Structure 1
Amino acid sequence: MKAIGSLGFIGLGVMGEAMCANLVRKSPLPVTGTDMKREPVERLAAIGLIPADTVAGVAQAADVIFLSLPAGAQVEEVCLGPGGIVSAKGQVHTVVDMSTSPVKLTRELAARMAAYGITFVDAPVARMRQAAKDGTLSIMVGGPPEVFERVRPFLTTMGTDITHCGDVGSGQVVKILNNMVVFMTVNALAEALAIGRAAGVDGGLLFDVMSKGSADSFALRTPGLKSLVPDTFPEQAFPTDYAIKDIRLALELASQAGVGAPAAEHTRQLLEATSKAGYGRAYYPAMIRLIEAAKVQAAP
């Protein structure tokens, strides 16, 4: 196997900047990075990142490149588009996609990159922005076992739960379904909160009692108690439009497998309505605004 002497990171957004910061601080290898915005590059350069102006600049400097991009289209462009990793003809031999991308595209990219001698694996992440800052993400990896073992030490700089899920694309499957269940659970919590308040019960008390019983969950304790109850949906958290992207990926996967998912479809419709109502950039539990508005409209 080819040696790993240098690392790269492309995509320094809300999650990517924090993830790259942990990689820079904790890895013994030099890290070269870039982003379309210069501000995060400059912030990370202050702690040791080697800044690059372009994707090609990263590809020419790094053996292994980590990606944290908005969607599969950007991943494909960065890998195979003009000025991308392949066209740079650099030294990179492994690409680790930490974005949330379609499973089918992920497997296609792995085959296409292999034709250029580059191994492509998926390693999407779960948990919130604070976990990215703290280096406590859950990371789900799809790829050959030997490649997983080689990149695992670098992934441990960013996460505490690193799971090999199977062949290429398997990490995406697990991540997408994880998010689907979380969104559906938040949908259920929002409905319960709306009903409870309408029946005269304090929302904080309702969720506190639920957290002591069989309804307890991460969704109840985090988006539930910290967002739904105080009715706070900041834009710097996981936005509704991102949730729509992920649940659409889950439904696409369900369709490909011939599995019906009516509950997930209901949550997709609610999220899309939430975005259309002006909450596309707001934290996705803002869906409760539409649930409560429907309650008012339905009242006699």
Structure 2
Amino acid sequence: MQDAIAIVLFLASIVVAFGVLKPFILQLDRKMHALTAIVLFIAFVIAVPKPTPEEQAEREAADLAAQNTEIRSKADDAAQKLKPIQADDFAGPRKNSTPDELETLTRRERGAFYAAARSSQCDKVSWGFIMIDGPIEKDKWQVDCENDNRFVITIEEAEEASQMLASNTLSETDRPASCTVSTPAECSRSLAQKQANETEVVSFCDITVDKALVSSPDWKWSWDYRFGEDDNLVVTRGFTAQNAYGAELRHEYRCTFDAAKQAITDLKIVGPLGTQDLI
């Protein structure tokens, strides 16, 4: 009954809005005509039945199923070309990997393809490979998409996508590309490093050094800003400051800033009298 009322009100609002009933309401001015349309539309909105919890759950399930299907279509072709990883594929300690470790690595490599496909910035996965750099718990995969976006997938992302693939619950994300085919150097930087603001990092280091000095320093105009390991950023900057006796001496600080933790993890000042560790 409520559905029928909602439909009638909706049709009536359309009729009034477009003036189809104008011949029958000639005695009404334009304001009244518009007001009638608004009232009918509001009544329609109120009359429309809200979905039941079951209906809402069905809609959400259908949406997730559609996302899962779309993401799989973006990575299935490339993933099907993957071969099981063998111990002979590696050199050094990795050659001694157990069958279980190799099976896990193969599963995660497949998951890495789908982890990239989950991103809205990947149109279709073209290929990828494992980036071995240290212990197995730090494994990463480089995955390229046909639109030239490149993703560096962490072991956590690969594992998550692998589990979602097994349960058919792959969902889309807004994960940005790590770099592009034409800017490969960007892929060596972590997401936290990319998101960090150079000026803000330098200012944070400056303020920390300033608080440790006897007098305010005279900063050198330029500085060296580099990307360190993991999420670290390294700032080196020269300055002149007075010592306890009032002598102007040249110094240089080296500040290591963890972009993920938003904190300085190491800070040294080098001067005529040696190196001083502040942090």
TM-score, normalized by length of structure 1? Answer: 0.26
Give the number of the structure whose residues are more often strand, by fraction.
2
Determine which structure has the larger helix proportion and give its number: 1
